[in-house]
Amino acid sequence: MGDALKRPSNLAWMVVLVAFIALSVANVLLLSSCSSESDEQTEQSQQSTQQQQTSEVQQTEQASEATVTQTEQDATASNGSATSNNGIDYLVLVNKTHELDPNWVNEIELVEATNQRGNTVVVESEALAAFEQMQEELASELAPLNATIDLNSCYRSREKQQEIVDTFTVDYGEDYVEQYVAQAGHSEHETGLALDVIPIVDGVELLTNDEMLAQTELWDIVHNTMPKYGFILRYLPDQEAITGYQYEPWHLRYVGTPAAQKIADSGLTLEEYLGEA
Ligand SMILES: [Zn+2]
């Protein structure tokens, strides 16, 4: 009886033991299978994230390329950060006696922006980025005046400048053109670094010279803020003999930092600062 009782008991334990070993082996196999599957999933997910990132970068590049309005760019010019210091002379002097190198336009990166009034303007890429940063600060500084400034005329091609000269000569006469309009090849606007802005006060765009000149408080704020962002006032009051133009508070010129602060602190015209007066 005792044996009879013992044997089944031993058998049962053996069955339990075998079953346990079998389950353990199966379990290990199962775990290792899950583990490798999970690694694969992680890898796939990483790959897919990388692909997504690559595609986002490509999309960004395509988008930024699409905004470039130049017909042809060399490889370095379209290459992001290399653009900011790719040999562009941000202190380039253009006036009635200094003509802009016709090749200039092939060496800079021009980008399009939409101004607050929904118009497309074209600006050199680094100058535009600096202006957009400045606008963030000006938004709060000009808020007490219920005012903003908006980009108006920025980059103009040599051909466009010639059209303006021709039209203004017909409409306003040669004297006016001599006073206010640069000849083709002699306009800072051909550099992509000159930004004409207009004030918008109480929701009203101020477009005439007289309306704009009357905004002295607004210009003080803009002119004090802009050197930090690389902009100078190009046509200073009472310096027509040197710059060739009367005071234009709206014509901002990008020269980069820290040059803009040095020039502003000196109180000199760009011509004097460069020793070209
Ligand atoms: Zn201008």
**C-alpha 276 – ligand 1 centre gap (Å):** 20
Integer CA distances (angstroms), 35 to 30, 31, 42, in order: 8, 6, 10
**C-alpha 180 – ligand 1 centre gap (Å):** 9
Residue-by-residue DSSP string for 148-187 = EEEE-S----HHHHHHHHHHHHHHH-HHHHHHH-PPTT--
Taking the CB of residue 148, how many other CB atoms lie within 10 A of it? 18
**C-alpha 97 – ligand 1 centre gap (Å):** 17
Average pLDDT over residues 82-110: 87
Third-level CATH fold of 80-273: Muramoyl-pentapeptide Carboxypeptidase; domain 2 (3.30.1380)
**C-alpha 212 – ligand 1 centre gap (Å):** 13
Give the domain ranges of the chain: 1-67, 80-273
Average pLDDT over residues 194-205: 97
**C-alpha 12 – ligand 1 centre gap (Å):** 99
Question: Measured between alpha carbons, how far is 16 from 23 in angstroms, rounded to an integer?
Answer: 10
Question: Measured between alpha carbons, how far is 215 from 148 in angstroms, rounded to an integer?
Answer: 12
Tell me: the pLDDT tens digits for 115-155?
999 999 999 999 999 999 999 999 999 999 999 999 999 99
**C-alpha 182 – ligand 1 centre gap (Å):** 9
Q: What angle do CA 77, 257, 90 make, to 5 degrees?
A: 45
